[in-house]
Structure 1
Amino acid sequence: MSPIDVNDHDALIAALLPAVREAGRLEMSHFTNGVKFEQKADRSPVTAADREAEDILLAALASVAPDVPVAAEERIAAGATCEYAKRFFLVDALDGTRLFIRGKPEFSINIGLVEDGKTRFGLIYLPPSERLFVTRSDGFSYEAKLSQKDELPFAAMQFKRLVTRKPDPAALVAFNSRGVGSASAGLLATLKVQDTRPLGSSMKFCLIAAAEGDLYARFGETYEWDTAAGQAILEGAGGSVTKLDGSLLTYGHFERGYRNPYFIAWGRQPLWRGGESELAAPRA
């Protein structure tokens, strides 16, 4: 592969698809044949699939964008550093490792591009369902099927533009991480959410972008590689991702180890803003 202009999102997608497809195949092979794992220094689990898929993606990025730094989850966990850069990639080659280990098909491949603290490009692939979500050169977000059985090129793929749905305050649907804290439960109570659906990985951003839900509140630890691609895709479909005060979730916070503050992903604009202490107690 030859270097490309990363501002040309269609060209970037086309260049990365072979590696994304290969990483998806590898992850599904591990997923169906049994998963062994170990603990990292922070006591979170890691598998061979995490590391092998990351190697595939990093090799592709080094080929197509050799001058753009990359902050990748397993590389950072192994001690690599990524100092301030105006533009850089964020990669989580297997988002949802705990669910992957437990045999739940709720994991994803995330590649985000950040510039000046804002997420500019997102690619998320869900290997179990072969659903691909991307931001394209026109600034909008799209979904397509990326089959692991063929080598269909980008130009031959059929993309459907994504548009979030207008929220109905009387029938809100929220996606949650499988471990839900009392603060996020309090927000759902405050908003009188009628339907909550536990779901793993960055799938939550994608399904809101695809008009299958209205919000996702995360009041727990996450990292920038968990959210950058999803935020780009959700914003390209008409949504937003904000901190509790309603300001935009931003990137490149190397000084705090890439950790995100608490945030809420919305199908449109925020329906609530404030502080954690203002949230109602969870409903019984």
Structure 2
Amino acid sequence: MSEKDPIIKDLVSLVHKAGKEVMNIYEGEIHTQLKEDSSPLTQADIKADNIILAGLYEDYPQIPTISEESYKIGKIPNLEDSFFLVDPIDGTNEFINKNDEFTINIAFIKNKITKAGVIYAPAKKKMYFSGLENKAYEIEFSHDVEEVPFQNKRQISVNPISENPLTVTISRSHSNEKTEEFLKNYNIKNTIITGSSIKFCLIASGIAELYPRLGPTHEWDVAAGHAILKAAGGNVRIMDKSELQYGKEEENFLNPDFIATNF
């Protein structure tokens, strides 16, 4: 990370700021309501969304932003070649259940390709990020530090391709029969079940090799993890083996089925 990559420092600082507020809520009483699509919403989703959107507008007023919460209330900017995708709380069910498996995600998209991403799991004291220099990093720190300790960052990379049995990671809340059938085609030695975009980080850091998602997701669920995984040597591909792309406004920002791998 260098002066050539200032965007990632801005995004990291922003998710850290949001993470502090989110953890204050997480450590207290969580209030939940249902959105129009019957998915849960907490005060942490709203607080983090407000912090991130305000920060992005202040730092990058020329770049539009799509966030999960603003999209669902109809606030959709005119997209250009470059834009941000934000999921203020990825894994709201995990947040409500207090199992620590939730993240705060920001991705930078250019020409339909994810170019930079930050995933912050404050309850796990871990942050993952990748910038325009195409390297992926992990930092461990407590959410209550004043500044993110960049000096402690550790470059991460995927496991090399081999014929050894695989470690697969799957969704805690969204696994299905289709996924189980798909995995019968692979030699699996271990399965890690976890929530949110942590699954991408497990592959990026060499803990797992495969994450199939054969069910509905939105772009903001995936883009940051995709950027980090790609910078670490992996990728996210749809079923025709092409790379997952972003800015699918005509499809309501929904993704097709995809597979995240270590290659």
Does the alignment reach a TM-score above 0.5? yes
Q: How many residues align?
A: 261
> Which of 135, 145, 148 is 1:150 aligned to?
145
The answer on whether the counterparts of 1:130 and 1:145 sit within 8 Å (CA) in structure 2 is yes
CA distance in 2, matches of 1:87, 1:8: 20
- 1:120 to 1:17, Cα distance in 2 relative to 1, 3 A: closer
Show the counterpart of 2:160.
166
The answer on whether the counterparts of 1:223 and 1:259 sit within 8 Å (CA) in structure 2 is yes
The answer on whether the counterparts of 2:32 and 2:43 sit within 8 Å (CA) in structure 1 is yes
SS of the aligned residue for 2:63 comes to coil
The answer on whether the counterparts of 1:21 and 1:146 sit within 8 Å (CA) in structure 2 is no
CA distance in 2, matches of 1:208, 1:241: 11
Find the structure with the greater CA-based Rg: 1
Structure with the higher fraction of residues in strand conformation: 2
Aligned pairs for 1:113-262 (under 5 A) are 113-152=108-147, 156-178=150-172, 179-262=174-257
CA distance in 1, matches of 2:136, 2:209: 17
SS of the aligned residue for 2:5 comes to helix
CA distance in 2, matches of 1:137, 1:115: 11
Show the counterpart of 1:109.
104
Corresponding position: 1:267 with 2:247: no
Show the counterpart of 1:70.
65
Matched AA of 1:193: I
Show the counterpart of 2:30.
35
The answer on whether the counterparts of 1:9 and 1:121 sit within 8 Å (CA) in structure 2 is no
Give % identity: 35
Matched AA of 2:61: P
Q: Please, which moves more after superposition, 131-140 or 256-265?
A: 131-140
> Which of 50, 56, 60 is 2:55 aligned to?
60
Matched AA of 2:140: K
Show the counterpart of 2:21.
26
Q: Please, which moves more after superposition, 158-167 or 88-97?
A: 158-167
Alpha-carbon displacement from aligned partner over 1:224-252 (angstroms, at most 9, x marks no partner):
00000100000000001000121110100
- 1:10 to 1:245, Cα distance in 2 relative to 1, 3 A: same
Q: Give me the TM-score of the superposition, normalised by structure 1.
A: 0.87
SS of the aligned residue for 1:54 comes to helix
Q: Give me the TM-score of the superposition, normalised by structure 2.
A: 0.94
Instruction: Could you list the structure 1 runs, at least 4 aligned residues long, displaced by more than 4 angstroms after superposition.
Output: none
The answer on whether the counterparts of 1:108 and 1:127 sit within 8 Å (CA) in structure 2 is yes
- 1:99 to 1:33, Cα distance in 2 relative to 1, 3 A: same
- 1:205 to 1:182, Cα distance in 2 relative to 1, 3 A: same
Per-residue deviation, 1:18: 3.5
- 1:125 to 1:65, Cα distance in 2 relative to 1, 3 A: same
